[in-house]
Amino acid sequence: MKYKYLFLSILISASLFSQDLKRAVEPKSMLSELPSYFNTRYIIIKIKESERSGSSDYFPDKDELLLQAIQKVMFGKEFHLEPLIKLSKEFLLSLKRRGEERSDITLGNLSLYYRIDLNNFSETEKIAIHNALMSMSELETVYFPLNHRPGGDVLHPKGAETPQLTSTPDFSAKQFYLNPAPAGLDAKYAWTKPGGDGAGIKFCDVELGLNKTHEDLVHDTITDISVFPSTTDDHGTAVHGVVYAEHNGFGVDGMAWKVKPYFSNAYDSTGSFDIANSMARAIPYLNPGDVMLLEMMDQSGDPNSTYAPVEFSQAEFDVIQNITASGIIVIEAAGNGNKNLDDQTKYGHKFDSTFRYSGAFMIGGIQSGTSTGGTNPAHQRRSPSSYGSRVDFHSYSEMVTTLGYGDLYGAVSNEKYTSKFFGTSSASPIIAGAAILMESIYKNASAGQTLDHKALKSLLRYGATLSYAPATDKIGVMPDLKKAIDQMLLALSAEHLHTIPASFVVYPTLADDALLLFDADNSSEKTSYSICDLSGKQVLENDLYLVSSGNRIDVSGLSSGMYFLRIDGSKRSGILKFVKK
């Protein structure tokens, strides 16, 4: 039967690509000096989680014992505890609870992150305060935040601005990344499917700024949720152009041009970098299946100023993990540090997914080949992209045609285009566009359901294009949207799923704790069943003996999402789908 091959293909994909979320906290370490890559105005602390600190009425700034212990190390000066994440405690605890219910993992309590302003302290005092706080048993995490940079190569070669014509030409032929695999991701195939325009999905970019009035953006629908005025920045403009530039016959074509765009710049109200809070402030606006793109990098612990993914720091990691556990898809640039993220001497276990795993898709960059004006060999990792086992996907990090800069066309900012956007900043929005298209097509085909990061990751890796030298490139795979979409729609196809005899009925199809399997023929057949999630991972199996009153199948231990129930009997077999609340 056809459905047997479908089920087999799902199981194969799951065995290759299943992965669970993990959260871990790196050991505390003392400082003897303040490296230049620290932002030492603030020190970030996280209260150790306990039954008391996790309660809704606990506030560290009202904990007299904690305040007294901190005061002892402050050289007699006043200090103030300020929540790091500027969302209500009730919201953050609800986010943690919902995420843990969906993912069945323990998440970091974001309401326990605070920061202390050390602007009036000397360097010697800051080192002493850091080390003293490190020794306090009440604190789980203590660190100075790192400086940040945009996720792409900030030395973009602008070149000479191209003179303006009467009307902007159509540059979409230069967007090779939209073409079929292996040259591209085949976004054009996605556009032929219902929902293949990004409609129904929200997209939030986190970085420095963008030109919201560019002629090729749906600028009147961008929701800016920043707390510090957003700048007009070519980098963000280029990113947004890749994702949702309009299909209007001129300029470029965005991958998901009907997505609902949001923007959160990486500054706080004082103009200082505040990545954790800039991500967190977007959470109330997003729903499961929506996509967040992190176009920033931490400055790593390297005196040569190379950069690492933003989840390098514990607060950022915990925020990302809370977001992905809630069902939101996070796309994270691997960074342009040309670093091996598997190097435990440099990074410890920060990027070891067997130790801690945020759930974000980490993106590396490849060469585009001389046929596009880029570098040979095509599909090889392009320096300065970082690499390692933690990097999930890759795309082009050179010669990406999009908005901004003006080296391709345009003398005024609203009409500038580039054919040279590069770095992990160009690779990451391409993967974000692919994620949006998968979610929008799936949502359309499944009556409003969405994919979590595990199911989406498995589908995007199905039949994907390998890099030039996978063993040494170590930057994951590039999705082939045609193969991924066909596999996804096959799994949802009624022709293949509803092959189970009509005498079998599963109730309810939207289940809470249990399913009831009824047999209208009242047979006493001995059968077995198995349940797989959308990625194909088998999560339950057992034997049962059909009874006329119905058989109860306990699904209380399953996370929320869509599943396949396969029934194998001596006379009848088949597959049905159901959704766990």
pLDDT tens string 483-498: 999 888 877 764 344 4
Q: Residue 364 class from Cβ within 10 Å (0-12 exposed, 13-18 middle, 19+ buried)?
A: buried
Sheet architecture: strand order including 223-224? 223-224, 260-265, 202-207, 291-294, 329-333, 361-366, 393-396
Residue 290 belongs to a domain? yes
Read off the pLDDT of each residue in 389-403 and give the average, rounded to a whole number. Answer: 97
Read off the pLDDT of each residue in 271-284 and give the average, rounded to a whole number. Answer: 90
Which of the pair, 528 or 385, is modelled with greater confidence? 385
Q: Are residues 382 and 445 both part of a single domain?
A: yes
Q: Are residues 248 and 112 both part of a single domain?
A: no
Residue 153 belongs to a domain? no
The predicted pLDDT at position 18 comes to 42
CATH of the domain at 563: 2.60.40.3080
Read off the pLDDT of each residue in 338-365 and give the average, rounded to a whole number. Answer: 92
Using H for helix, E for strand and C for coil, what is the string for 206-257?
EECECCCCCCCCCHHHCEECCCCCCECCHHHHHHHHHHHCCCCCCECCCCCC
Query: 77-93: buried (b, 16+ CB within 10 Å) or exposed (e) per residue?
Result: eebebebbbebebeebb
Residue 347 belongs to a domain? yes
Res 58 pLDDT > 80: yes
Q: To the nearest whole number, what is the mean pLDDT of the chain?
A: 86
Beta bridge partner(s), residue 117: 42
Paired tokens of 95: 């986010």
Q: Are residues 463 and 421 both part of a single domain?
A: yes
Using H for helix, E for strand and C for coil, what is the string for 525-566?
CEEEEEEEECCCCEEEEEEEECCCCCEEEECCCCCCEEEEEE
The predicted pLDDT at position 53 comes to 84
Q: Which of 29, 546, 152, 103 is nearest to 320 (CA)?
A: 103
Q: Supply the range of the domain harboring residue 409.
A: 162-485
Phi (first) and psi of residue 113, to 5 degrees: -90, 125
Domain stop point among 94, 115, 144? 144
The predicted pLDDT at position 20 comes to 53
Residue 492 belongs to a domain? no
Query: pLDDT tier at 27 (50, 70, 90 boundaries)?
Result: confident
Q: Averaging pLDDT over each range in 33-42, 266-275, 320-329, 447-456, which range is the top one?
A: 320-329
Domain stop point among 109, 144, 179? 144
Residue 426 belongs to a domain? yes
Res 500 pLDDT > 50: no
Window from 203-212, 371-380, 501-510, 514-523 with minimum mean pLDDT:
501-510
Window from 109-118, 279-288, 412-421, 499-508 with minimum mean pLDDT:
499-508
Q: Are residues 202 and 233 both part of a single domain?
A: yes
Overall domain count for the chain: 3
**Per residue in 280-299, pLDDT tens?**
999 999 999 999 999 988 76
Query: pLDDT tier at 5 (50, 70, 90 boundaries)?
Result: very low
Instruction: Give the count of alpha carbons within 13 A of 38, CB side only.
Output: 16
Q: Are residues 234 and 191 both part of a single domain?
A: yes
Window from 36-40, 80-84, 424-428 with minimum mean pLDDT:
36-40
Secondary structure (3-state) at 155: coil
Q: Are residues 349 and 234 both part of a single domain?
A: yes
CATH of the domain at 100: 3.30.70
Res 16 pLDDT > 80: no
Res 358 pLDDT > 90: yes
Read off the pLDDT of each residue in 124-152 and give the average, rounded to a whole number. Answer: 85
The predicted pLDDT at position 391 comes to 97
The predicted pLDDT at position 11 comes to 37
* Cα distance between residue 176 and residue 180, in whole Å: 9
Q: Are residues 12 and 123 both part of a single domain?
A: no
Q: Are residues 169 and 299 both part of a single domain?
A: yes
The pTM is what?
A: 0.82
Which of the pair, 435 or 81, is modelled with greater confidence? 435
Q: Are residues 409 and 545 both part of a single domain?
A: no
The predicted pLDDT at position 539 comes to 87
Read off the pLDDT of each residue in 67-94 and give the average, rounded to a whole number. Answer: 92
Residue 493 belongs to a domain? no
Read off the pLDDT of each residue in 116-137 and give the average, rounded to a whole number. Answer: 94
Res 317 pLDDT > 50: yes
The predicted pLDDT at position 503 comes to 57
CATH of the domain at 356: 3.40.50.200
Paired tokens of 193: 């499917």
Q: Are residues 351 and 285 both part of a single domain?
A: yes
Domain stop point among 117, 144, 171? 144
Q: Are residues 518 and 479 both part of a single domain?
A: no
The predicted pLDDT at position 22 comes to 59
Res 192 pLDDT > 70: yes
Query: pLDDT tier at 162 (50, 70, 90 boundaries)?
Result: low
Which of the pair, 504 or 203, is modelled with greater confidence? 203
Read off the pLDDT of each residue in 298-319 and give the average, rounded to a whole number. Answer: 80
Residue 32 belongs to a domain? no
Q: Which of 285, 320, 310, 330 is nearest to 436 (CA)?
A: 330
Using only C-alpha atoms, the chain has a radius of gyration, in whole angstroms, of 25
Read off the pLDDT of each residue in 500-525 and give the average, rounded to a whole number. Answer: 70
The predicted pLDDT at position 13 comes to 41
Residue 24 belongs to a domain? no
Q: Are residues 195 and 266 both part of a single domain?
A: yes
Query: pLDDT tier at 401 (50, 70, 90 boundaries)?
Result: very high
**Per residue in 249-260, pLDDT tens?**
999 999 999 999
